[in-house]
Copies of this chain bind each other. A is one copy, B any other.
Amino acid sequence: MCRWLAYSGSPIQLETFLLEPRYSLIDQSLRARMGAQTTTGDGFGLGWYDEYREPALYCSIVPAWNDRNLHELAAHVRSGLFLAHIRASTGSPIQQTNCHPFRHDNWLWMHNGQIRGFNAIKRELTLAVDPDLFAAIEGSTDSELMFYLALSLGLTDDPVSAVERMAGLVEYTAGGHGIENPLQMSLATTNGEQLWVFRYSSEQPSPSLFFSTHVRTLQALYPDNPRLAGVSEQARLIVSEPLSDLPGVWNEIPEATCGIVLAGQAELWPFRPRS
Contact = CB atoms under 8 A, between A and B. Distances in A.
A101 interface: no
A95 B141 CA distance: 15
Nearest to A131: B123
B56 A97 contact: no
B135 A138 contact: no
Number of copies of chain A assembled together: 4
Contact of A73 (B73, B97, B119, B137): B73
A65 B41 CA distance: 9
Interface in A71-102: 72-73, 75-77, 89, 93-97
Interface in A10-68: 30-32, 38-39, 41-42, 50, 52, 56-63, 65-66, 68
A127 interface: yes
Nearest to A129: B123
Contacts of A214: none
22 contacts: A30-B38, A39-B39, A39-B41, A39-B63, A41-B41, A41-B65, A42-B63, A50-B76, A57-B69, A58-B69, A58-B73, A61-B66, A62-B62, A66-B89, A66-B94, A73-B73, A93-B97, A119-B135, A123-B134, A123-B135, A137-B140, A139-B140
